Amino acid sequence: MRYKMTTFARIHWVRVFISGFLAQISVFAFLIPFSLLYGEHSLLYAAPLASLLACFLFALWVGRRGDSLFVLHGALVGVVATLTFVVLTHGHPEAWPHIVAHALKILGGTLGGFVASRPRSRLNDAGLSRTLRDKKFSYKKALAIVSGLLAGWFLYERLGLDSSADFSTWKLYQGVALLGGIGLAGLFDEAWLIAVIGLSIAPTLIVGIKVFRHPAESMWPIALPMVFTLGFPAPLIGGGISRLLKRTKVPRIVYIGALTGALVVGAFWPNIQNAKRRKFETQTVPRLLKEIYDAEIVYRAQRPDGNFACDGSLLPGAAGTLGWDHGEGSMIKKYLRVQYYNIRLDCSNEIDPQSFRITASSNEGSIHAPVLSMNETGKLVVVPWPPKGPNTR
């Protein structure tokens, strides 16, 4: 029992958890562009190999900085990476390639720990030592640029910047990119600028690849300069802050925490957004449709002809002040935009309207959201995605 407790205490748990988490995040960061280039079917082969390689490299990094229990540390890196995947996917049932990938994570981590445990020869020759130092620096530069590109690619894709209709998500990206720049510059001391530049140019490279693949569907003269302008400065500022912190001898854990914090935000942001969207779809939009419906009933009761309003700005109470707008070629204000949804007020006969329908549909084409509607009967109709027929409630 005493031996087991001593072994448990000698494990560098913080390093293991950080390495396992970053290993899984690096797998995500690699697979996202890979699937864009070669299709989702290619993930059946790429995911297991990427899992093996990522856990091997991070276990090797843990082992190089340890002094004992190399193989155990490596295996634990694979276990933490697997648990990270399970948490981020909410434990949903997995296809067989994911099961294989989990086994290869533990195998790769174990192999990385084994390689790290091999004795290192001492070289006394000054010329050879200098050559090795140069090679080590070149390796650091390569690792720095790859790490920066992967981090930037991961954050850009996870924050869904392609589908954001406003700049609110870009503001969040700049915040996490600033944190990422602080973390990368602190971890890659000599090659900090290369790592930060990799993080800065990642969004522009992503958009550039998409423009190259679909040139007819893009507005690259506007998109590329805008993405470059919005994505480039924040990581550089973060790198500058990191260099100032270096002068005060801030502990290394601060830089690890900054980078991990940025990646954690990227990892969980889609889940947060989905929860907010779900609440908006199930609570806010139905309540808003009911408010417009009630205003239509009041409007009709006040009219001697018993007509409904086709112009939303004519509705009584708060419903008429929601910010209705008209479409092209019409002066009737029947369109309304509310966060994730567009709302439209239609009448079958705009001259003598005896019926109406309010329709709410997603204003982001890449999001498969349900369509909600309500007519003069007051019944809420929800058509889910993909459409399978209306559900009335």
pLDDT tens for each residue of 245-258: 888 878 888 898 99
Environment class of 392 (CB within 10 Å of its CB; exposed 0-12, middle 13-18, buried 19+): exposed
Specify if 272 maps to a domain.
Answer: no
Do 297 and 369 belong together in one domain? yes
Specify if 164 maps to a domain.
Answer: yes
Buried b (16+ CB within 10 A) or exposed e, 168-184: ebbebbbebbbbbbbbb
Do 232 and 298 belong together in one domain? no
Most confident by average pLDDT, 22-31, 123-132, 142-151, 218-227: 142-151
What's the domain range around 16?
1-119
Per the confidence metrics, is the pTM higher than 0.85?
no
Specify if 158 maps to a domain.
Answer: yes
Do 113 and 6 belong together in one domain? yes
Do 46 and 97 belong together in one domain? yes
Residue 5 pLDDT level (bands cut at 50, 70, 90): very low
Query: 332 — phi, psi (to 5°)?
Result: -85, 120
69 pLDDT above the threshold of 90: no
Mean pLDDT in the chain?
A: 79
Closest to 291 (Cα-Cα) out of 318, 321, 310: 318
Specify if 219 maps to a domain.
Answer: yes
66 pLDDT above the threshold of 60: yes
The residue from 232, 250, 268 where one domain ends is 250
Could you write out the three-class secondary structure of 303-334? CCCCCCCCCHHHCCHHHHHCCCEECCCCCCEE
91 pLDDT above the threshold of 80: no
Do 312 and 230 belong together in one domain? no
Per-residue model confidence as pLDDT tens digits over 152-199: 988 888 886 665 545 667 888 888 999 999 999 998 888 888 899 889
Do 151 and 220 belong together in one domain? yes
Q: Which residue has the higher pLDDT, 229 or 37?
A: 229
Residue 230 pLDDT level (bands cut at 50, 70, 90): confident
Q: How far is CA 247 from CA 33, 243, 370, in A?
A: 37, 7, 54
pLDDT at 35: 67
pLDDT at 266: 87
Q: What is the DSSP letter of 2?
A: H
Specify if 64 maps to a domain.
Answer: yes
Specify if 255 maps to a domain.
Answer: no
Closest to 147 (Cα-Cα) out of 40, 22, 261: 22
Do 232 and 330 belong together in one domain? no
What is the C-alpha to C-alpha distance for residues 152 and 174, in angstroms, rounded to an integer? Answer: 11
* Domains in the chain, number: 3
Q: In what order do the strands lie in the sheet with 391-392?
A: 325-326, 333-338, 341-346, 357-362, 371-375, 380-383, 391-392
The residue from 61, 84, 119 where one domain ends is 119
Q: What is the mean pLDDT of residues 367-392?
A: 76
Do 89 and 198 belong together in one domain? no
Specify if 197 maps to a domain.
Answer: yes
The residue from 101, 119, 137 where one domain ends is 119
Do 7 and 112 belong together in one domain? yes
Neighbours of 285 (CB within 10 A): 23
Tokens of 360: 């709410």
pLDDT at 358: 94
Q: What is the mean pLDDT of residues 377-385?
A: 87
What CATH number should be reported for the domain holding residue 351?
A: 3.30.540.20
Do 195 and 241 belong together in one domain? yes
Neighbours of 328 (CB within 10 A): 4
Per-residue model confidence as pLDDT tens digits over 252-283: 888 989 999 998 888 888 888 788 888 888 89
Specify if 269 maps to a domain.
Answer: no
Amino acid at 347: C
Do 240 and 338 belong together in one domain? no
Do 291 and 211 belong together in one domain? no
In percent, the amount of the chain with pLDDT more than 70 equals: 77
